Structure 1
Amino acid sequence: MHGETSLSSVKAVRSAFFDKLAAKGTDAKAIGDELFDLAELLDGNRQLERSLTDPARSADDKVKLITTILDGHVDPLTLEVAQAVASRRWSRPEHIADAVEDVAIDALLANADARGVTAQVSFQLADLHSALLNLPVVRQRLSDPHAEPEQRVKFLDTLLKGQPLDQITLDLAEHATRNLRNRRYLSTINWVIDMITEHRGRSMVTVTSAVPLKDEQIVRIKNAYRRKLNRNVYVNCVVDPRVLGGMRIQVGSEVTDNTVAAQLQNLKRAVA
């Protein structure tokens, strides 16, 4: 999401509902499911998105519109979230669906918090990300915009059958393929992991290497980035033989690539 107006609005909405979702405990999952459905509704109805984000319409008018559509069909808290996003201003129409999706994820994490499994969900998604990294054909099927959403979900469920995954992990993994929202599957999973680490008051440091890192290497990286960022960090280790050697470290949008593959690519460009 880009644009100061939208960034300010989504931050305000998420902050306003953090405690309310936490108070729902395990029941927050139902709110998340309904908000995911609402995000999908908005994505599929551009006219509705434009109506709810039209700067020429009053906030009250937009709130009345979304209330007419949802009242009596969703949980009162889901309706309250929808009314809140409708009352805000957005830089672009599609950002309202982005905000609804963000709060949906917050709701699922509130469920995970209530059961004490938030860290477990993060680790399971990181393992899924690593497992799919070297399976391009699988990733393509999960990101195929021409396939029906339920076909992609069924394919994912077949892949994950028998895995001891938490329900929230499965919900988030399925959402990433059910509603692509013009994204690739792995990038969505990585974004969700970042949201979870932020939710837990940490930063995600993703380290890609050709071979598994030793425990002492992980500790050094964790300590270095904890000092640099002045907050706790979680190191997500990804093994990718294609990097040949060295490490690629990513924190948010900041990337430090000291892999052999990157150096060879730089050499090729210099020679060219």
Structure 2
Amino acid sequence: MQVRGASADALAALTGELEARLQGGTDAARVGGDLFQVSQLLRGEPGLRRIATDASLEAGPKQELVRQILAGKVDQVALDLVASAVGRRWTASRDLADTVERLSEVATVRTAGDDASRLSDELFEFEQVVAQNPALRDALSDTSRSIDDKTVLVRSLLEGKALEATVTLVQQSLAGTYRTVGAALQSYQKVAAEVAGKSAATVRVAHTLSAADRQRLADVLSAQYGRAIHLNVVVDPSVVGGVRVEIGDDVIDGTVAGRLDDARRKLVS
């Protein structure tokens, strides 16, 4: 999710509010679920969204309207966060729903506790399963199938095998907020890494890395970027040899194929 200006400031402030409330023993799973439902409500009701983000209206009446609509339907912490969001300025109307959904993702990631790394791994692994299985990818993207039907499919694949946070986020990926399920899962991995104070790196290699090699690579990248790095390793025969690392917009290509391509470009130029 990319937001700018006032929306970026609002996202940062609201994330801080959420983190503070979660540290007080709030039910993160309930808050995450409620915030996700509110984000879908805001997307489905453009009139409400326009009123909630209208900078010409005073914050108080807008917040009261939201409290009246949501009172008794969502957790008090979720309600307070949404009211706080409505009282802020937004660069674009759609940024409010996007931000509320991002808060739901953060809250859900927090339910994993000490299993944050496992959550990142499971999201990455399911993303790879979807990418490599055309039948599953088509089933999850089929607009003729209901969300409930797809949810049952996801639960049949993951329940009892993955963290509940993983199941929840995969189910949320079906809502269509992101371009594809795969794009949603990639975004969730970044959120999980950020919540854990890390950056996510996709590493492409020709053969499986040993635990020692993974740790050495993680240590080198952590030293280079100044923060802990969570590795998502993809075994890709096209790599030929070496390692290709993608961190955000950065690409470190140390593969044989990459060096050959580079040499080819230099010869042509």
Contact 1:130/1:239 (<8 A) preserved: no
Residues 32-74 of structure 1: per-residue CA shift (max 9 Å, x gap): 1111111111121222222211222222232122112112222
Secondary structure of the residue that 2:231 maps to in structure 1?
strand
Contact 1:63/1:87 (<8 A) preserved: yes
TM-score (normalizing by structure 2): 0.87
Q: Report the number of matched residues.
A: 267
Contact 2:205/2:236 (<8 A) preserved: yes
Partner of 1:184: 180
Listed as ranges, the matches of 1:138-149 within 5 Å are 138-149=136-147
Listed as ranges, the matches of 1:53-132 within 5 Å are 53-113=53-113, 116-132=114-130
Q: Distance in 1 between matches of 2:49 and 2:143?
A: 21
Correspondent of 2:192 among 196, 202, 205: 196
Query: Percentage identity across aligned positions?
Result: 27
Partner of 1:20: 21
Residues 206-259 of structure 1: per-residue CA shift (max 9 Å, x gap): 102232123443233212211111112221112233545543311123233455
Partner of 1:175: 172
Contact 1:35/1:101 (<8 A) preserved: yes
Secondary structure of the residue that 1:150 maps to in structure 2?
helix
Query: Are 2:204 and 1:211 aligned?
Result: no
Contact 1:22/1:110 (<8 A) preserved: no
Alpha-carbon shift at residue 95 of structure 1 (Å): 0.9
Q: Distance in 2 between matches of 1:6 and 1:208?
A: 35
* Structure 1 residues 23 and 148: CA distance shift in structure 2, 3 A: same
Q: Distance in 2 between matches of 1:213 and 1:132?
A: 22
Contact 2:205/2:243 (<8 A) preserved: yes
Structure 1, gaps ≥5 residues long: none
Contact 2:29/2:111 (<8 A) preserved: yes
Kindly provide the amino acid, as one letter, of the partner of residue 53 in structure 2.
T
Alpha-carbon shift at residue 87 of structure 1 (Å): 0.8
Kindly provide the amino acid, as one letter, of the partner of residue 54 in structure 1.
D
Partner of 2:237: 241
Partner of 1:11: 12
Q: Distance in 2 between matches of 1:111 and 1:215?
A: 27
Structure 2, gaps ≥5 residues long: none
Correspondent of 2:152 among 113, 137, 154: 154
Q: Distance in 2 between matches of 1:146 and 1:262?
A: 41
Q: Distance in 2 between matches of 1:258 and 1:47?
A: 51
TM-score (normalizing by structure 1): 0.86
Alpha-carbon shift at residue 188 of structure 1 (Å): 1.1
Partner of 2:37: 37
Secondary structure of the residue that 2:200 maps to in structure 1?
strand
Contact 1:31/1:77 (<8 A) preserved: yes
Contact 1:63/1:86 (<8 A) preserved: yes
Q: Distance in 1 between matches of 2:257 and 2:133?
A: 19
Moved more, 215-224 or 259-268: 259-268
Partner of 1:137: 135
Q: CA RMSD in A?
A: 2.6
* Structure 1 residues 143 and 240: CA distance shift in structure 2, 3 A: farther
Secondary structure of the residue that 1:183 maps to in structure 2?
coil
Residues 86-112 of structure 1: per-residue CA shift (max 9 Å, x gap): 111111111111111111122223332
